[in-house]
Amino acid sequence: MTRIAFIGLGIMGLPMATNLVTAGYDVVGYNRSQEAIDKLVAAGGSGAAGIADAVKDADVVITMVPDSPDVAGVVQGPDGVFANAKAGALWIDNSSIRPDVAKELAEEAVAAGLGVVDAPVSGGEQGAIDAVLSIMVGGSPDDFAKAEPVLNAIGKTIVHVGPAGAGQTVKAANQLIVAVNIQALAEAVTFLEAFGVDTDAALKVLGGGLAGSKVLDQKGQKMLNRDFAPGFRLALHNKDLGIVTSAARSVGVTVPLGAAVAQLVNALVARGDGGLDHSGLFKLTTELSGRD
């Protein structure tokens, strides 16, 4: 049985790890909070006391943590993945981080005798729960082939998009599209409410036409209900949009819509709303329209 060390049992990491248990893998998890480890154990996995303990006998190591420094902190150093994973193990990073950092860490992983793919995911908490995530994978063809069976247990659309760092580049583009779509939906719902339209009916018909999207399907009702419980936190999307705008600038690409939405997301985070779902862009839109 393939043994998988799963590091980072957060909103998405825990259901992903649980789905790997369901698929028949031997999963040992580590998280900074014991509560998340206990939930994995209750689902049939096992827990570790630290990163080194989790990865020492693992065939595959998966990391799912918030940001570039967090990934580096998990894999580097004497207690990290690179120093403690066995030679030949495969490292799959499902986190969303800077493409340049992904490339640098991939080089370090190879030097440590590991296979490596950067494999950020899209689909939010529900996609993680339902094991239907979209996964964009960067790395060598051989390492992708090794990772694919594992990724099939947590996702539905798994695509090899290029060498190391390419997965993170595609994820940045994904986050740009999602942010602009959420803001457009927030403006549309605010517009509809201002005219007293039956918004449930309106979203139903909009969803059946060219305006239809997964963003509308997953976030429209949350906006109508003013339900901003996090499936994907604004603070994380703020981080991702920082990656987008910085990377775009580095290659001379103009992203005016992305830059504008990045400022709105940053404003929400700066005032203390970073823990809300990214559909919380609707909250700011209604306030700016004097309709909160």
Beta strands in the chain (DSSP E): 3-7, 26-30, 46-47, 60-63, 90-93, 115-118, 121-122, 133-139, 155-162
Tokens of 112: 């440590």
CB 145 within 8 A of CB 173: no
DSSP letter assigned to residue 219:
H
Q: Any catalytic annotation for residue 171?
A: yes
> Could you give the CA distance from residue 240 to residue 242 in angstroms, rounded to a whole number?
5
Instruction: Please enumerate in sequence order all residues whose Cβ is within 8 A of that of 192, keeping only pairs 6 or more positions apart, or say none.
Output: 199, 202
DSSP letter assigned to residue 291:
-
CB 168 within 8 A of CB 138: yes
CB 166 within 8 A of CB 96: no
Phi, psi of 78 (to 5 degrees): -65, -25
Tell me which residue has tokens 């997964």: 214
Question: Cα–chain-centroid distance for residue 96?
Answer: 6
**Best CA proximity match to 11, nearest among 237, 172, 164, 185:** 237
Instruction: Please enumerate in sequence order all residues whose Cβ is within 8 A of that of 271, keeping only pairs 6 or more positions apart, or say none.
Output: none
Phi, psi of 112 (to 5 degrees): -85, 0
Catalytic residue among 86, 103, 146, 171: 171
> Could you give the CA distance from residue 255 to residue 245 in angstroms, rounded to a whole number?
7
Catalytic positions: 171
